[in-house]
Amino acid sequence: MQTVKLNNGVQMPIEGYGVFQVSPEETERCVSDALKVGYRSIDTAAAYGNEEAVGNAIKNSGIPREELFITTKLWVQDQGYENTKKAFETSLKNLGLDYLDLYLIHQPFGDYYGSWRAMEELYKEGKIKAIGLSNFEPARLVDLILNNEVVPAVNQVEVHPFLPQDEAKAVMEEYGVHMEAWGPLSEGGNNIFDNEVLKTIAEKHQKSVAQVILRWHIDRGVIIIPKSVREERMQENLDIFNFSLDQNDMDKIATLDLGKSNIIDHNSVETVKMVNTLKIHD
């Protein structure tokens, strides 16, 4: 598996397996299948409710811990210095691990400054190999960087051909933050798999549309975590390292940019209300 070097020297697989919206009942089987077909990076979150199932799959896989890269995320309800320390230990226990490879602040709401201070300490103690963010817009990202000691290693944001996030990517690169795409296939929105531009490129390379999209991310140096509950799709999503897109392909895909999210608007009042009121525990 191809890796990227994060700003602290840690090597992270450029492609991982995500378990967003995978039910706890299905997660253990799905992660086991993903590990079996070759994934070594698994992305979960406290808010997904499936950390324990991920941990079970890891334990039963027989794969040495040092060969795996495990990410989870801190939910808004647990923002703040003390709460973050507790939430981290809960996630670690759920996963059955003694350290995390990557810990992310899931949303840019609540006392994320207090959370970052706690995460900096956990990082310095060696309990986390790298710390980062999720869903941070460029201005919030830069503000956090300028007012803290540790620069985030990763910022996981919505990225796909309809929202390539070129400006955000440039800001991340300026500060040494690696872009990671959630929803790399646009969660199937806007009929992406039937898009004529992408279908034409897929035919040219004798690949599926999904493979072309994932390769587009790789050619941009973006970390991806596609999700599927079907083993054959997991394998297909991994089979993207034997071809590359040319500049003509990249230019055509650039025309698909809609300039806005087709999934969620983190700048809307309704999103802020929804995220802040979603409780994942008592």
Beta carbons within 8 Å of 125's beta carbon, 6+ residues apart: none
**pLDDT tens digits, residue range 13-29?**
999 999 999 999 999 99
What pLDDT, in 10s, does the model give residues 66-75?
999 999 999 9
Distances (CA, A) of 12 to 24, 39, 69, 100, 238: 25, 12, 7, 12, 15
Q: Which amino acid is at 104?
A: L
DSSP 173: H
Assign 5 to helix, strand or coil.
Answer: strand
Residue 60, classed as helix, strand or coil, is helix
Rounded to 5 degrees, φ, ψ at 224 are -130, 150
Cα 81 to chain centroid distance, Å, stands at 23
CATH superfamily of 3-277: NADP-dependent oxidoreductase domain (3.20.20.100)
Residue 99 known to be catalytic: no
User: How far is C-alpha 128 from the geometric centre of its chain's CA atoms?
Assistant: 16
Distances 274 to 6, 133, 256, 265, 277 between C-alpha atoms, Å: 32, 19, 29, 11, 5
Catalytic residue (one of 48, 103, 112, 123): 48
Using an 8 Å Cβ cutoff, are 154 and 132 in contact? yes
What is the CB neighbour count within 10 angstroms for residue 178? 23
Q: Radius of gyration (Cα) for the chain, nearest Å?
A: 18
In a structure prediction context, what are the per-residue pLDDT tens digits for the chain, which is 282 residues long?
899 999 999 999 999 999 999 999 999 999 999 999 999 999 999 999 999 999 999 999 999 999 999 999 999 999 999 999 999 999 999 999 999 999 999 999 999 999 999 999 999 999 999 999 999 999 999 999 999 999 999 999 999 999 999 999 999 999 999 999 999 999 999 899 999 999 999 999 999 999 999 999 999 999 999 999 999 999 999 999 999 999 999 999 999 999 999 899 999 999 999 999 999 999
Neighbours of 115 (CB within 10 A): 27
Q: Where are the alpha helices (DSSP H) in the chain?
A: 24-37, 51-61, 81-95, 112-124, 138-146, 166-175, 196-205, 209-219, 231-238, 247-254, 269-277
Sort strands 69-74 and 154-158 into parallel, antiparallel or unpaired. Answer: unpaired
AA identity, residue 218: I
Residue 109: what residue type? F
Report the 10 Å Cβ neighbour count for 263.
Answer: 14
